[in-house]
Structure 1
C-alpha cells in the first residue's frame, strides 16, 4: 500500500470510527439516564438489553471498518466451543488498542456482550465514558501500596465495585473482560517492571481474583485469549487504521472454574499465594505460546 493511500485510509478510518462511536453512544447514554429514573427492575433489565444490542451494532460497525484492511487474514483457534448463553470471565494479554477492536469483532457472535474492567480515567472520555457507564461497566480506581498504607479505608473498594457490577450481570449472560497486565505491553515497560516474560508484562492477580470471589459460581468458564500481530507488532492499532494490518492470530483456551480459584484474596495469604502461582504459570505458558506463534509465522514467511 502506498503512503498516500495509507494516509487517506487513516483519515477515513478515524472519521468513521468516531462517527460510529458517537452514533451508538448517544442512544446508549440516553437509555442509561432513563434507567436511573425508572423504579422497576424489569424495565431496567430491558433497557440494559437494549444497550447491549446497540453495543453489538457498534461491534458490527467496527467489523465493517476492518474491511479497509484489504489484506487482513485471521488465524483463529479454539473459538468453536463458545456460546452466547453462558457467563464468562475473559482474560488476555494486552498489546494495543487494537485488542479491543479484535475482541469486539471476533467474539460478537460467539460470546455474550463484553463488559470491560476500566480505568477510572476513562470515565471522563467524551461519549465513551458515559456509554460505558450506561453499559454497567465497572470503573476501577487503582491505589499504590503506599497510599493504601496511609488510607486503609480505601482497601477493598474495588471489591465493592466488582460486586455491584457482577450483581447487575446476574440476570443476563455476560462476558467480563480483564486485561490482567493492567497496561498495554511495551518493551520499555517490560524492562522497567523487570518482567520475567519475553512478550508479556507481569500479570496482576487481584482483579480477577476479586471477580472470582464475588461471582465465581456465576462464571461457566474462564476464556484465556492470546492475541498476536506477527506482521504489525510495533504499532498494530495505527496499522489497522491506515489499512496496513495484515494478520491477526488469536488462540482461545477454555479453563474450568474450580473451587481452587475462589477465595479471600485480600485476607487469606495461602490462597493469595496459590492464586498468584496459578496465574503466573498460565502467563508463562502464554509467553511461550506467543514465542511459538511469532516463530511459526517467521518460518512460514521464509
Structure 2
C-alpha cells in the first residue's frame, strides 16, 4: 500500500513537471516559428538552430525529470558509434508510447534532434503544425494510386515535392525516425498478422523506402534500435511513476550507401516489384536478427 502510494505521488509530480517543462519550451518555439516565416533562406537556417536548441533543452529537462523520479537502470550498447554532426535514418521496434521517451533519452545530444515524416495536411493543425514546420519536421505529399490513375501526369510529383522540402538537410544534420512495424506490438495484433517473429510484428518497407527515395543522398547512416523491457512492456504511467526498473537498448549502425551499392534498394522501389521484394527481404532479415537478440535478452511481453 505504501509503495503504491509512493509511486502515485512520484508519478503525479513527474507528470506536472513534464507539463510545465513542455509549456516552458513550447512558448519560445512558437514565438521563434513566427520569425521563421520570413522567406529568407539564410535567416530561416539561422533561426532553425535556435529552435533545435529549444527542443533539445526540452528533452534534456524531461530526461533529468526521469532520472530523478524513475530510478531506472539503463543498459545501452552502441552509442560510441554516433555523433551529433551526421545524417541518420533511425528505425526501431515499437511496443509502447514509452519507446519515444526512451529514444529521446538515449539519443539526446548524441545525434541531431529526432524528426518524423508527417503528412502534408498536418501542417494546418493549429499551433502544432507551425511548430512542426519550424522544427523542420519533413512534410510528405503522397497521391493515392486511384488519383494517379486519373491524373498520370502527376506521377512522381509527390516525391519531387518531398525532395525539395528536404533540401534544407543538405547543410544541416538531421535524424529521421520511423517505426517500421507501423503500430505498437500487442499479442492480438501479433496473432492477427500471424507474425513469424516471437517479439515483433511484421516490418513494413514502404515507410523507410519513401524516406530513402526522398533523402537517400542526404542520409549517411542507418541506426537500427532494439528496445527491451525486461519486466514487461510499460505504460506511460509506469514510466513516469518509477515502476520501470530496467530498460535495455541495443544500437546497430550501418552506412546507408551499403544498402544502395549492394542493390538492396534503389529509386525504382515504387515501380519495380523485384526491388520491393528484395528490400522487404532485407528488412525481414534485420527483423529476424532483432527477434533473436530479444530472445537472448530474455524479453517478455507480459504487462507490469
Question: Is TM > 0.5 for Structure 1 vs Structure 2?
Answer: yes
Q: Which moved more, 1:241-250 or 1:61-70?
A: 61-70
Alignment of 1:128-277 (within 5 A): 128-139=128-139, 148-149=145-146, 152=149, 159-160=159-160, 162-233=162-233, 235-257=234-256, 258=258, 259=260, 260=263, 261-277=265-281
Shift of 1:39: 2.4
Q: How does 1:13-52 map to 2 (within 5 A)?
A: 13-36=14-37, 38-52=38-52
Distance 1:161 1:226 in 2: 32
Q: Secondary structure at the match of 1:250?
A: strand
TM-score (norm 1): 0.86
TM-score scaled by structure 2?
A: 0.86
Report the CA distance between 1:158 and its aligned residue.
6.2
Give deviations 1:220-260, integer Å, cap 9, x for gaps: 21011111111242x24221111111111000001122222
Deviations 1:82-125 (A, max 9, x none): 11111111111111111111111211121112112346797688
C-alpha spacing 1:139/1:219, structure 2 compared with 1 (3 Å): closer
In structure 2, the CA distance between the partners of 1:14 and 1:32, relative to structure 1 (3 Å rule), is: same
Aligned to 2:285: 281
Q: Aligned to 1:176, what secondary structure does the other structure show?
A: strand
Higher mean alpha-carbon deviation, 158-167 vs 103-112, is at 158-167
* Greater mean alpha carbon deviation, residues 127-136 or residues 58-67: 127-136
Structural mapping, 1:16-95, within 5 Å: 16-36=17-37, 38-95=38-95
SS at match of 2:100: helix
* Separation in structure 2 between the aligned mates of residue 209 and residue 14 of structure 1, nearest angstrom: 37
**Cα deviations by residue, 1:23-47 (Å, 9 ceiling, x for unpaired):** 11121122222211x1211100011
In the TM superposition, residue 132 of structure 1 has moved relative to its aligned partner by: 2.3
d(CA) in 1 for partners of 2:67, 2:34: 34
Change (3 A) 1:249 1:201: same
Residues 188, 87 of structure 1: alpha-carbon distance in 2 compared, 3 angstrom cutoff: same
Question: What CA RMSD, in Å, does the superposition of the two structures yield over aligned residues?
Answer: 2.6
Tell me what 1:3 maps to.
Answer: 4
**Equivalent-residue separation in structure 1 for 2:169 and 2:74 (angstroms):** 31
Q: Which residue of 1 is the match for residue 13 of structure 2?
A: 12
* Structure 2 stretches lacking a partner, 5+ long: none
Distance, in Å, in 2 between the alignment partners of 1:161 and 1:13 is: 41
Residue 165 of structure 1, CA deviation: 4.2
Where structure 1 has 5 or more consecutive residues not aligned to the other structure, the ranges are 297-302
Distance 1:29 1:167, change over 3 A: same
1:160, distance to aligned residue in structure 2 (A): 5.0
Structure 1 contact 98–237 (Cα < 8 Å) conserved: yes
**For the residues of structure 2 that align with 1:247 and 1:25, how far apart are their CA atoms?**
30
Task: Quote the offset at 1:161 in angstroms.
Answer: 6.2
